[in-house]
Amino acid sequence: MKGWMFMRFILAFLLTTLLAACGSKPPANNAAAIFAQASMQRGATAFAQGDLSGARHEYTRALNVYESLDDVKGRAGALLSLSRIASQSGNNTEALATVNKVLAEPSALDGATLVTAHGRASAIYLAQGDTARADRQLASASAICGAACTDAAALTVLRARSALAQQQPAAALQLAGQALTMPALAASNPPTLKPQASAERANALRLQAQAQLALQQPGAAVAVASEALQLDRALGLAERVLLDLRLLSQAHAAAGAGDTARHYQGLADRAESAGKALRDNARAN
Amino acid sequence: MATVKVAVDKLSIALGKIDPILDDTRKLTNEAAAMRQTLSSSMTATLANIQAMSGQFRQTSESARVLVGNIDSDRAKVVGEVQGLLKTLNNDLPQALDKTKDTLENARSASADVKQILRESRNDIPAIVRSGRTAAQDAAEITTGLKGSWPFSGAASPAEPSTLPLDSFEGRK
């Protein structure tokens, strides 16, 4: 009976999807908008593959099209993406200038876009060490987000990051724990099933471990950092793997396990060298 | 029988893919758009399998039960194989639909309303199907997402624009 019900379900579901799609008219997009959307898609793909130059090229092209069409929403999406690419490239000044272009026209944007923009600005201010501005951006984002929004978990982890930057490890620990209880950050197996959520979960775990280390809880930090490392490895996030390895080295050292600490430091050094070689090769090519 | 099992297998893989996709419509459109670039397989065989399956529901119930168990125990592998099916579900579908529309509509009538099926089976389906229930209950939203990106419609329109999402790590060096 279960098998029969299962088969009925999957057939009905697939048919519903097929027929609904078949019977509907395609979205009414003009050729320019289609071109811009395709560029956005290619930009996202390039970014996911670590091709920042290619991603910048595609999003810039999309931005030009959206601006030529006076498409405010499309323009905001392209700018937000370019901001992320700039910060990923280590250019936080450019990243901030880019996201501020979005925030300069808030009235024409939807809430989700504004939350992402304020959150992005906050992350950049944190990277620049300006926690006051970061907190103001976070407050703006949270006010729009309310009880829940797509970026709620990332905003909570950013608040934890800000607390830690302000030498408030207990608050950071509490916020990171709060983020980890959010359904959006529930563990998925394999992590690549939900790469964005898994990456954010790893961010929360890393923050938690850093806070525990600051609170003289190295044993707990080792356990949590190990989990973050597993996720980041699975997701192929080399920069974060490097941070996790360093964190594990520090935590083991704080726990009195000098040999293990040196082992992780060696792994971190090797990962850093390999990352540098990859970047050098990319530049040479 | 083997043909039906293949069809069930492919459809089950699709179901395994739909569950995680539901969490983020933007992800759905991203993936569908990315897949569009590599599409090459034909839908004809799958539709033929659906047709065969609709006539052999009861005879294959035992196979399906085994299949459900396999999905529960090895879901990661199942999901990992989904791209093959999605490729199959793409390029030739708009053309194939003309030929198979009657079959599909007959099958839809026979299989009744998805929500009714789910109400009836609420306590009688394994975990993977309960996950799928959410997908079915949100079928309208899924379809909306698919219509915007999936080439089912035969349109050349790409998916919704892909803005890079907020990540609390960004900015760190």
Q: A191-204 pLDDT, tens per residue? A: 999 999 999 999 99
For A254-277, write each residue's pLDDT tens digit. Answer: 999 999 999 999 999 999 999 888
What is the pLDDT, as a whole number, of residue B10? 56
What is the pLDDT, as a whole number, of residue A282? 73
Rounded CA separation A1/B125 (Å): 9
Residues of A in contact with B58 (CB under 8 A): 4
Residues of A in contact with B21 (CB under 8 A): none
What is the pLDDT, as a whole number, of residue A8? 58
**Whether pLDDT at B109 is above 50:** no
Residues of B in contact with A89 (CB under 8 A): none
Mean pLDDT of A107-125: 95
What is the pLDDT, as a whole number, of residue A171? 98
Contact A201, A244 (CB under 8 A): no
Select the residue of B108, B129, B172 nearest A15 (Cβ to Cβ): B108
**Whether pLDDT at A242 is above 50:** yes
What is the pLDDT, as a whole number, of residue A101? 96
Rounded CA separation B13/B55 (Å): 21
What is the pLDDT, as a whole number, of residue B160? 56
More confident residue, A32 or A123: A123
Residue to test with chain B: of A1, A2, A8, A10, most B Cβ within 10 A: A10
Rounded CA separation A228/A245 (Å): 10
Rounded CA separation A54/B55 (Å): 50
**Whether pLDDT at B15 is above 90:** no
Residues of B in contact with A75 (CB under 8 A): none
Report residue A238 CA to chain centroid gap.
14
Contact flag B63-A41 (C-beta cutoff 8 Å): no
Q: What is the mean pLDDT of chain A?
A: 90
Rg (CA), chain B: 17
**Whether pLDDT at A233 is above 80:** yes
What is the pLDDT, as a whole number, of residue A3? 52
Of the pLDDT bands very low, low, confident and very high (cuts 50, 70, 90), residue A158 is very high
Mean pLDDT of B80-87: 47
Residue A121 burial (CB count, 10 A): 26
**CA of A253 to nearest chain B CA: how many angstroms apart?**
23
Contact flag A193-B79 (C-beta cutoff 8 Å): yes
Q: Nearest chain A Cα to B146, which residue?
A: A21
ipTM value, please give it: 0.83
Rounded CA separation A239/A220 (Å): 23
Residue A170 burial (CB count, 10 A): 11
What is the pLDDT, as a whole number, of residue A154? 97
What is the pLDDT, as a whole number, of residue A67? 95
Of the pLDDT bands very low, low, confident and very high (cuts 50, 70, 90), residue A5 is low
**Whether pLDDT at B22 is above 70:** no
Contact flag B157-A8 (C-beta cutoff 8 Å): no
Question: How far apart, in Å, are the Cα atoms of A119 and each of A67, A122, B61, B143?
Answer: 23, 5, 50, 30
Of the pLDDT bands very low, low, confident and very high (cuts 50, 70, 90), residue A284 is confident
Contact A164, A211 (CB under 8 A): yes
Percent helix / strand / coil, chain B, rounded to 5: 70, 0, 30
What is the pLDDT, as a whole number, of residue A278? 83
Contact A184, A221 (CB under 8 A): no
Record the pTM. Answer: 0.62
Task: Tell which residue, A184, A209, A181, has the closest CA to residue A194.
Answer: A184
Contact flag A4-B58 (C-beta cutoff 8 Å): yes
More confident residue, B39 or B17: B17
Of the pLDDT bands very low, low, confident and very high (cuts 50, 70, 90), residue A120 is very high
CA angle at residue B37 from B36 to B41, to 5 degrees?
65
Rounded CA separation A175/B58 (Å): 53
Rounded CA separation A217/A170 (Å): 11
Contact A81, A43 (CB under 8 A): yes
Of the pLDDT bands very low, low, confident and very high (cuts 50, 70, 90), residue A76 is very high
* Tokens read off for B74: 């090895």
